[in-house]
Amino acid sequence: MKKRHILFNTTILLALPTGTAAAAPQKGFSLDFGIARHTIKPDCYLCVTSTRGNSYGMDVQIPVSDKLSINPFLMMSSEFTNVNIPDSKVSANHMILGVQLRYWVNNIFFGGHVGRYVESIEISSGPKLSYVSGGGWGLGLVAGWESPNSGWYMMGQVDSAVLKYLSPPDNKLSGFRLSVGYRWK
């Protein structure tokens, strides 16, 4: 519930600087950078229940009309975990390959996506590395603001997926990303 409030409040703040100019979604490729935070339900491997770190992404925006766009995207993150194992470091990497459908109101967009989620947990203990990974399908919501003139944009995204692993039980992953990006036209 708290993540939805953050996404809603971020969208309201992004709406303030838009002015009255009407703009259609801009066609083009973009790169973005931001922060990510994920939570995992307690039946998780090594009891990783939360992660936080950097998020990187790219998309291609394809306008369908002056109110709709389709955005195939790839997002990745490199995150620290809450796990404390003596003489070891535990980190998590997340990736989403998906497609968003965005609805535009002037320079503001709202939408949803479906994607394939992958999680990799890395345990390093001296020179020894161990990996555990899982994947599954998930859904998400996105909202943001894009400048029609400069190409810069800001967006917030919430995600939810069920990840399947070979040996540990399945995990429910939920996440939040806040990004700033640039779109080449």
The pLDDT tens digits of the residues spanning 141-166 come to 999 999 988 999 999 999 999 988 87
Q: What is the CATH number of the domain that holds 84?
A: 2.40.160.20
What is the structure's pLDDT at 18?
45
pLDDT confidence of 46, banded at 50, 70, 90? Answer: low
Instruction: Specify the amino acid at residue 150.
Output: S
**pLDDT tens, residue by residue, 72-130:** 999 999 998 877 777 778 888 999 999 999 999 999 999 999 999 998 888 887 777 77
Phi, psi (deg, nearest 5) at residue 6: -65, -45
Number of neighbours of residue 180 by Cβ within 10 angstroms: 12
In Å, what is the CA distance from 168 to each residue of 94, 111, 163, 164? 17, 33, 10, 8
Mean pLDDT along residues 9-32: 66
Considering its fold, how many domains does the chain have in total?
1
Average model confidence (pLDDT) across the chain: 85
What is the structure's pLDDT at 22?
54
**Domain assignment of residue 25, given as a range:** 2-184
What is the structure's pLDDT at 4?
52
Q: Determine the Cα–Cα distance for residues 104 and 8; give it in Å rounded to an integer.
A: 15
> What's the predicted TM-score (pTM) here?
0.82
Percent of the chain with pLDDT over 90: 56
In Å, what is the CA distance from 179 to each residue of 17, 40, 113? 17, 21, 16
Q: Determine the Cα–Cα distance for residues 159 and 141; give it in Å rounded to an integer.
A: 7
Mean pLDDT along residues 160-180: 86
